[in-house]
Amino acid sequence: MVELVTFSLLNGVVYGLLLFMLSSGLTLIWSMMGVLNFAHATMFMLGAYFSYQIGRYIGFWPALVIAPLLVGLLGGAIERYGLRHVHRHGAVAEILFTFGLAYLIVEIVVMLWGRNPIENRVPAVIDFPIFTLFGTSYPFYKALMMAISVSMFTFLYLAFKRTRVGLVIQASLTHPQMVGALGHDVPRMFVLVFAVGSALAGLAGVIGGFALLTEPNMAAALGPIVFVVVVVGGLGSIPGALVASMLIGIVQTFAVALDYSLLDLFRVLNVPVSRTSPLHEVYAVKIAQAAPVIPYLLLVLMLILRPRGLLGTRET
């Protein structure tokens, strides 16, 4: 039992940190520009594909740096040459632009790398056990994932609180017009935020690509969950995104490990349930099977009970 809890907790934290790296960029983009960026998860996917391709030529460590930078450049270019022009057509056009972009990027990835998962194995340089617990060894790359995400969070937090650019970005989250009136270049801030957010997603893709399957569907599988994190954490709140990512990461990982259903509960409580009962199928669903539903249930509950999210300051 202790073993199960420990490893579920460790895996949950790794998954949660991954979600955090994706959602921190998204929450900034959203609260600053009001754009629901559907293409954000595709940046994650591009990070994984780029690092695979670069890693084949010059090895993992350079790829770890170059792939996120490329994705960041791409993100900045998307804002500068795409979104900015769509902006005048209104919020719906902006969402549809990112939606169409996400669709296109997936198709372009299919065109370049094919429809099947690529063999994005954990590179040998980071694939060795770091410690052994209860007879099971814990791989180094998962520890590396944790270290990178945590240092990313520290870096972001300090950059936000201590640097001039960070303070200007914080101000433009709530008062973009005022910041512009004070002479700061808000459009350039937009490009910067978009580029940094995309680069973070790309970085998450580099280190998360091994853990998940690197395939064209990975963006569609992860994208909606990242939106859930942003809403649950609270719009524009980096600490909120961290808390919500951890929550969802850990809850989902534990749920997968739990092989119980409502029927088991009824058995313990001595409530008889007949096999012909119309809800028998609902009762028989194991928690492990229900794991994919949990984030969305959380989203709906959150929007009903606390629309501003866990740590948000304004309503989503």
Q: Would you call 138 exposed, middle or buried from its count of C-beta atoms within 10 A (0-12, 13-18, 19+)? A: middle
| Shortest distance (Å) from residue 265 CB to another protein | 17
In this complex, which beta carbon is closest to another protein, that of residue 201 or of residue 228? 228
* In the complex, minimum distance from the CB of residue 220 to another protein, in angstroms, rounded to a whole number: 7
Find the shortest distance in angstroms from Cβ 36 to another protein.
5
Of residues 166 and 307, the one with the C-beta less far from another protein: 307
Tokens of 139: 């791989």
By the criterion CB under 8 A, which residues form the site for another protein? 30, 34, 36, 82, 85-86, 89, 91-93, 95-97, 99-101, 103-104, 107-108, 110-115, 220, 224, 227-228, 231, 281-282, 285, 289-290, 292-293, 296-297, 299-300, 303-304, 307, 316
Q: Which residues pair with 138 in a beta bridge?
A: 131
Of the two residues 50 and 141, which places its CB atom closer to another protein in the complex? 50
Task: With beta carbons less than 8 A apart as the criterion, state whether 139 and 133 touch.
Answer: no
State the nearest-atom distance from the C-beta of 316 to another protein, in Å. Answer: 5
Question: Tokens 């512009």 belong to which residue?
Answer: 180
CB 98 within 8 A of CB 201: no
Q: Which H/E stretch holds residue 136?
A: strand 136-139
Compare residues 116 and 132 and give the one whose CB is closer to another protein.
Answer: 116
CB of 300 to another protein, least distance (A): 6
**Neighbour-count burial of 15, counting CB atoms closer than 10 A to its CB (0-12 exposed, 13-18 middle, 19+ buried):** buried
- Identify the sign of the CA torsion 77, 82, 87, 92: negative
Shortest Å distance, C-beta 181 to another protein: 24
Q: Which letter does DSSP use for residue 80 in this model?
A: I
Unique residue bearing structure tokens 């490329």: 70
CB nearer to another protein: pick between 107 and 259? 107
In whole angstroms, how close is the CB of 101 to another protein at the nearest point? 7
- Decide if 74 contacts 46 (C-beta within 8 A): yes
Tokens 């580099």 found at: 206
Q: Which tokens hold the place of 240?
A: 């909120």
Q: Which is nearer to another protein, 69 or 96 (CB)?
A: 96
Cβ proximity to another protein, 65 vs 282, nearer residue: 282
Q: Which is nearer to another protein, 165 or 213 (CB)?
A: 213
Q: Is the dihedral of CA 41, 44, 45, 50 positive or negative?
A: positive
Any residues with CB less than 8 A from the CB of 265 and at least 6 apart, and which? none
Tokens coding 128: 């060795």
Instruction: Provide the minimum distance between the beta carbon of 134 and another protein in the complex, in angstroms, as a whole number.
Output: 32
